[in-house]
Amino acid sequence: MERPAPARVRTDPSTEPRVTDKLERMAERGVAVVTGASSGIGAATARALAKEGFSVVVGARRLERLREVSEPIGAVALPLDVTDPGSIAAFAGEIPELRLLVNNAGGAFGREPIAQADEDAWRRMWELNFLGTVRVTKTFLPKLERSGDGHVVVVGSIAGFDPYPEGAGYTGAKHAERAFTKTLRLELLGKPIRVTEIDPGLVETEFSLVRFGGETERARKVYEGLTPLTAEDVAECIAWAATRPSHVNVDEIVVMPRDQASATDIVRRPAERTT
């Protein structure tokens, strides 16, 4: 299938110096947007997609961190808060055409049993993981369809498959996000938009540090005794799915460390002693 001409992204020079210049070059594969791209999987995905020939636009709340990601790869960094409809509208207004949307923004806040549920934290997780994905996808669907070869990638989690004790706030949001993605695939059937869900297991990023409010030791123990995935491992999956021929829809990739079989089935090995 012949690919449509890639898009040029209009930007406000007051928010990002030389943004227009960065996207004057015509990318081989068109424009890709990555949300939650200031660190971790989002940052690694931006680098992987740029390497594959996409013209990349990255969005996140931490603009300084975002620029550290965007500048080495020639991407455009724009502020984005997926829980704020006004922020999404402003972000999308700078991108007249789009080929690939990677919904990566998400996260967990706290871990407690239902009897002690922190409703504010649970609401934040719902807004960020579920409604954020809904809002961004809804906003960009017309542009993805107009491209003639659009693609929506949702970075979910094995938490969307497996409930686990003290995790209902996060697993509930991720189950909803998974249902959204499956429904989107059905609703877009027959239209020129592919839909892919990427569901990682344990990935060593800032995820656990954020979840546990900056408690470094508690976050470290999540990955203790095994070799977790890296952000780059997941980014490779996303880039591979995004670069298949247009008639190939990779519906789902579930990727975990070798020593993990589910959210709760994990083999941890004792650290080797040194003399």
Sorting pLDDT into bands at 50, 70 and 90, what band is 202?
very high
CATH code (residue 99): 3.40.50.720
**How many domains, the chain?**
1
Q: Hey, which residues are catalytic here?
A: 170
Domain for residue 8, yes or no?
no
Q: Is residue 212's pLDDT more than 60?
A: yes
Q: What is the DSSP string of 56-92?
A: EEEEES-HHHHHHHHHHHT-EEEE--TT-HHHHHHHH
Sorting pLDDT into bands at 50, 70 and 90, what band is 75?
very high
Domain for residue 192, yes or no?
yes
Q: Is residue 165's pLDDT more than 50?
A: yes
Domain for residue 4, yes or no?
no
> In angstroms, rounded to a whole number, what is the distance separating the alpha carbons of residues 78 and 97?
16
Exposure of 72 in the CB half-sphere (CA atoms within 13 A): 10
The pLDDT value recorded for residue 275 is: 44
Over residues 235-252, mean pLDDT: 98
∠134-140-42 over CA atoms, to 5°? 70
Domain for residue 14, yes or no?
no
The pLDDT value recorded for residue 192 is: 98
| Distances, alpha carbon 168 to alpha carbons 26, 108, 148, 160, 237, in Å | 45, 11, 39, 11, 27
Domain for residue 33, yes or no?
yes
Domain for residue 137, yes or no?
yes
Sorting pLDDT into bands at 50, 70 and 90, what band is 2?
very low
Stated pTM of the model: 0.87
Over residues 118-124, mean pLDDT: 95
Read off the pLDDT of residues 19-41 as tens digits, 9 standing for 90 and up: 444 544 546 789 999 999 999 99
Residue 184 structural domain: 24-202+229-255
Domain for residue 208, yes or no?
no
The rounded mean pLDDT for the chain is: 89
Domain for residue 123, yes or no?
yes
The pLDDT value recorded for residue 80 is: 97
The pLDDT value recorded for residue 271 is: 73
40: left (phi > 0), else alpha (psi -120 to 50), else beta? left
The pLDDT value recorded for residue 27 is: 61
